[in-house]
Amino acid sequence: SFCVTEEKSGSNTSSFSTFFNRKGRFFILRGEKNPVINAGQGRFYVVWANEEGSKNRSGISTFLIPEKTEGLRFGPYHDKPGFRPAPTATVHLENVCIPIDNMIGPAGSGYLLLMQTLDWGRALSAAIAVGLARAAIEEVIRFAKQRVILKRPIIRNQSIAFLLADLVTELEAARALVWRACRLIDIGKDHTVASSMAKLYASELAVRATTEGLLILGQSGYRRPSLMEKLHRDAQAFRIAEGTSHVQKLIISGQL
């Protein structure tokens, strides 16, 4: 599990209220991370924390904590509208004691490691959003071909046909942005902006595709069980996780 976000700091990853200090050959960690996906289910927890007494980036380090470490607790679990199969909860660190070898990288390197991890993760989140948008668009096209009103399929109505034309075009654009970001990762080039562009565009497309899908499917899409209804709930998470859409725009505009 990826333990970064805290209740009060949100997207601010330059300082944490989770602290650590060294005691002989061990580190002691205390604080809370919330929300954490797969809390209580992960084999290991990667935790970012500030050295006690430090409140800037140079004091951030990263730690690997095994699942059954004493002082590691979970809950309460969140009742989320989407991504319900992935348990999400608060991770409590109550004087968690781990060997010094469980620090990842040199002391004070946590902020750089976090930025590198987020850049990589945003490209992968964008890839998932592309797949979700594709599933929604394919479902809408299938329905529009089968749904007949006044003796003709609704896909022959210009308002729906043009909307679907926009969506499939935007899907190809989102996929190309993801491929570009992943290619830059593969060849070791700077991929920060490319990953943010892919994540921003793909996540917004996923929301738009599922929203328009619900509108076209009407009552059959809005009631449960419905694939479109589920995709719509799941799509919202991509505008938030790995940095909100607003954060992605800050990253992109900062490089102009």
Catalytic residues: 242
Q: What is the DSSP string of 99-115?
A: EGGGEESSTT-HHHHHH
- Coil, strand, or helix at residue 54? coil
CB of 210 closer than 8 Å to CB of 252: no
CA-closest candidate to residue 100, choices 137, 145, 63? 63
- Coil, strand, or helix at residue 3? strand
3-state helix, strand, coil in the chain (%, to 5): 50, 25, 30
Count the Cβ atoms, other than its own, within 10 Å of residue 159. Answer: 9
Q: How far apart are CA 49 and CA 52, in angstroms?
A: 9
Residue 74 DSSP class: E
CB of 213 closer than 8 Å to CB of 163: no
CA-closest candidate to residue 9, choices 45, 35, 27? 35
Strand partners, 99: 26
Q: How far apart are CA 145 and CA 125, in angstroms?
A: 31
